[in-house]
Amino acid sequence: MPSLKSKTQRTFVDFDLDDGSPTDLILRRDYVARSAGFYQDILKKLLESQISNQYKELANPANTTEKDLLIKANINAFSLMMDWGDSMISEHMQNMSDPTPEIGP
């Protein structure tokens, strides 16, 4: 006799997604150089401004606990973006001090 229990199929989302940055050495160096420049010239100041705005909003006594948690999540996300940008600058500086990799055998 067949089982009366139906099988439930579960779908899992893989949150460990590739960030899309190149792994090939030459392509990676170009990616890092462009990312470091964009971060230094444009994104860093914007993120600092957004973090400052979020801290101002966090000081609002009318906020609910849920809103405070959302604001803290925003601050964390912006901080993670700044960490990424700083790592791109560090990697680019290291690349600049290393000799250019040889192409081919």
pLDDT classification of 5: cutoffs 50, 70, 90: low
Give the model's pLDDT for residue 18: 81
pLDDT in tens, 19-74: 889 999 999 999 999 999 999 999 999 999 999 999 999 999 999 999 999 999 99
Tell me, yes or no, if the pTM score tops 0.85.
no
> What integer pLDDT is reported at residue 20 of this predicted model?
86
Cα dihedral 54, 56, 58, 64 in deg (nearest 10): -110
pLDDT at 105 over 60: no
Q: What single DSSP character describes residue 59?
A: T
Angle at 83 between CA 43 and CA 36, to 5 degrees: 50
d(CA 62, CA 80): 27
- CB atoms closer than 10 angstroms to residue 88: 22
